[in-house]
Amino acid sequence: MNSIEISHLTKKFGNFVSVDNISFNVKKGEIFGFLGANGAGKSTTIRMLCGILAPTSGDATVNGFSITKETEKVKKSIGYMSQKFSLYDDLTVGENIDFFGGVYGLYGAQLKARKEWTLEISDLKGKENLLTGSLPGGIKQRLALGTAVIHKPAILFLDEPTSGVDPISRRNFWDLINTLSSDGTTLLVTTHYLEEAEFCHNIMLINAGKIIAGGTSKELKSKFIKGKILEIESNNPVTLMEDFTALPFINDISIFGKKLHLFVNELYPGDEQLRKIAYTKYESEIISVNQITPTLEDVFIHLLEGSHVK
């Protein structure tokens, strides 16, 4: 069963096409990663799916409701944590929770129960009189998540919820995301942290408004990374990267700090031969060669920087 079905969705701002004829589905209860570089069209897509921004053409259903014809029903089905946190810094924790609870139509005993829950998941029990603006980033983000789901929506949109928070808080935040998903909530999440994308059940990659790849992390890796990936360390990786591009057994090269990732094909002559070629042909010493398992970063760099691909 699909929670979201997107069909030929397009958004233009003047002549500029921000979202270009995209179509895909999101299954009920899954954590769906919507990934792409800055300006790719992620937030614009989310705003259309939340019923905040009207598409130029195309349509989508969210929880079975059309985003163009049943906007109010869509809004009742969803929670949305926008890229800039939606909380009011000058309200206390308790006031923010009451405010969002009220916006979503909660009151009385129900609001009280959900308020307790929100305080609990944000580690803010007994601290509802603190000013929201004074909270540490990780806590504030959990509070923002709590208020976004205070009305128990079927579908939750999280637009870069973890940007700018420390790794431990990010890990804790993902535990919360997993709990919501196990309870049946559908989550569409954007992130620039590709290690977080590994936690998603399904991934869609958007670039310049167009969908360029989709699938599980495993599917993407096996589809786009053929052959082996070797990580090599050398004394001059940048020049070696340029020199190696011409070699017939190398399909693609990416640089990761001081290391290079070589995508080699069946012509690869072996580690010793590689060292020899580097040394005799290019006067470069290779310090180490290790075969690595591909990461999503390898996949995305490969897809987005097609210029190195032969």
Q: Between 29 and 137, whose beta carbon lies closer to ligand ATP?
A: 137
Question: What single-letter amino acid sits at 27?
Answer: K
33 binds, among ligand ATP, Mg ion, none (CB under 5 to 8 A by kind): none
CB distance 197 to 35 below 8 Å? yes
CB-nearest residue to Mg ion: 43
118 binding Mg ion? (CB under 5 A): no
Token pair for 91: 């309200």
The minimum distance between CB 41 and ligand ATP, in angstroms, equals 5
Compute the least distance from the CB of residue 132 to ligand ATP, in Å: 23
Q: At closest approach, how far in Å is the CB of 107 from ligand ATP?
A: 34
**15-74: contacts with ligand ATP (CB under 6 A):** 16, 18, 36, 38-44
Buried b / exposed e across 213-240, counting CB within 10 Å, b at 16+?
bbbebeebbeebbebebbebebeebeeb
Q: Which among Mg ion, ligand ATP, none contacts residue 294 (Cβ within 5 to 8 A by kind)? A: none
Burial letters for 86-98: b for 16+ Cβ neighbours within 10 Å, e otherwise? ebeeeebbbbbbb
Are 27 and 186 a contacting pair, CB within 8 Å? yes
Question: Longest Cα pair distance anywhere in the chain, in angstroms?
Answer: 78
| CB of 6 vs ligand ATP, minimal distance in Å | 14
| CB of 173 vs ligand ATP, minimal distance in Å | 18
* Partner from ligand ATP, Mg ion, none contacting 92, C-beta within 5 to 8 A by type: none
Q: Does 191 bind ligand ATP (CB under 6 A)?
A: no
Lookup: tokens for 122: 């944000």
Asked if 185 interacts with Mg ion (CB under 5 A), we say: no
* Rounded distance between C-alpha atoms, residue 171 and residue 167, angstroms: 6
Residue range at the interface with ligand ATP (CB under 6 A); choices 13-21, 64-72, 96-104, 140-148 = 13-21
Q: Would you call 89 helix, strand, or coil by DSSP?
A: coil
Nearer to ligand ATP, 84 or 218 (CB): 84
Q: What share of the chain is helix, strand, coil (3-state, %, to 5)?
A: 35, 30, 35
Nearest residue (CB) to ligand ATP, 36 versus 153: 36
Strand order in the sheet with 2-13: 16-27, 2-13, 57-62, 65-66
Asked whether 24 and 36 are in contact (CB, 8 A), the reply is no
Query: One symbol per residue from 45 to 84: x for binding Mg ion (CB under 5 A), - otherwise; what is it?
Result: --------------------------------------x-
Binding site for ligand ATP (CB under 6 A): 13, 16, 18, 36, 38-44, 83
Binding site for Mg ion (CB under 5 A): 42-43, 83
